[in-house]
Amino acid sequence: MGFNAGIIGLPNVGKSTIFNALCNANAEMASYPFCTIEPNRGVVPVPDERLTKIAEILNKENPIPTKIEFVDIAGLVEGASRGEGLGNKFLSNIRDVNAVIHVVRCFKDPNVAHVTGELDPIRDIEIVNTELMLSDMEILENARIKLEKKAKSGDKEAKSRLSIIDKCIKILNEGNFLNTLELTGGDINDDININDLNSLREYGLITLKPVLYLANTDEVSKIDECVRKVSDYAAKTGAGFMALAGKIEEEISELSEDEKGEYLEVMGLEESGLKRLIKEAYRMLNLITFYTAATQLQAWTLKRGSTAVEAAGKIHTDFAKGFVKAEVYSYDDLVKEGSEARLREKGKIRFEGKSYVVSDGDIIKFHFNL
């Protein structure tokens, strides 16, 4: 699959409801904590209006969308970093995902127990975040113990790594996620930078992952004090934010396409909250889409900043090994000119080499020789 986002939060905040709506997967749900034990996984297509337009212009049938995986992870409770609830299992599952969707309960339902007694979104967020920070601190402390002996023997790389770890432990102790540096695009302080953090990715630190706070509400488009608190918290920490009504979205997901369209029209919405969530997960993972249309039209996922030879490898390793050149044109140019023939006439189809950085919306034909 390649890229995924984990759905986390306290028990009974609606994680599995949202997962079911995303994937139509019928994950188990109940009104008691720890209903989800093993993580549920679902692969869903990324909504892409461009793919439909390209198919129309190039006269391609049954285009294949790119996909993203969502993982419904067991609910966390206070003390998880010490093994409470499903603590260690929960935390190891989060380490395996690329990004985090943190569901926060903003709905009232007397039939669904609230593990902390009453609605308080900031308290709920901070319970989860504290456990994530404590877990990362434990990982770093263990790494520090292993590096100390090497550093004392004069190993320069170990000394450098040890210094970075100490700085990160200090940041976590101050109540900051390590991703704060990347989210703000600058230094947390004069002593640590993005390159330092990248050197620690092998540890699977949870607080380095991008985060989106998802307020799970009672009604579509309902903005109340609870939702505003979550929105403000996300803005303050540089994280993403969305609000949706998970139960209603689950009901919408079970409708036929025609019925979905009618419902959204009545509600005055252009697209469902779930489509927005999928797109937002794709964005926060810093992904782009490119297309191939030599035979069947297909969309492919690529990390932003990747080269043409890396894109070729996404399709098949042989394409990368025998890469000769890439024939490239943009989606915008195709729409403007209306056909590949017109693009050739206008000189808008170009040949690029291995080091070409692929742009979002590129349509590529790879030339290779084995």
Q: What is the pLDDT of residue 118?
A: 81
Alpha helices in 153-256 (DSSP H): 156-173, 180-184, 194-198, 225-237, 246-253
Q: What is the pLDDT of residue 185?
A: 45
Q: What is the pLDDT of residue 116?
A: 75
Q: Which whole-number Å values give the CA distances from 306 to 173, 200, 206, 223, in the listed order?
A: 35, 21, 24, 39
What residue segments make up the domains of the chain, in order of their start? 4-36+73-284, 287-368
CATH number of the 287-368 domain: 3.10.20.30
Q: What is the pLDDT of residue 76?
A: 64
Q: How far is the C-alpha of 99 from the C-alpha of 117, rounded, in Å?
A: 29
pTM of the model: 0.84
Pairing mode, if any, of strands 362-368 and 323-330? antiparallel
Pairs from 320-323 (Cβ < 8 Å, separation ≥ 24): 321/368, 321/370, 322/368, 322/369, 322/370, 323/354, 323/366, 323/367, 323/368
Name the DSSP class of 356: P
CATH topology of domain 4-36+73-284: Rossmann fold (3.40.50)
Q: Which whole-number Å values give the CA distances from 301 to 19, 43, 234, 275, in the listed order?
A: 21, 13, 27, 17
Ordered mean pLDDT values, 10 residues apiece, the chain (370 residues): 83 87 56 48 88 97 91 69 54 88 90 78 94 93 91 87 91 90 50 78 91 87 82 93 88 84 80 85 90 95 95 94 96 97 96 97 94
Q: How far is the C-alpha of 179 from the C-alpha of 168, rounded, in Å?
A: 11
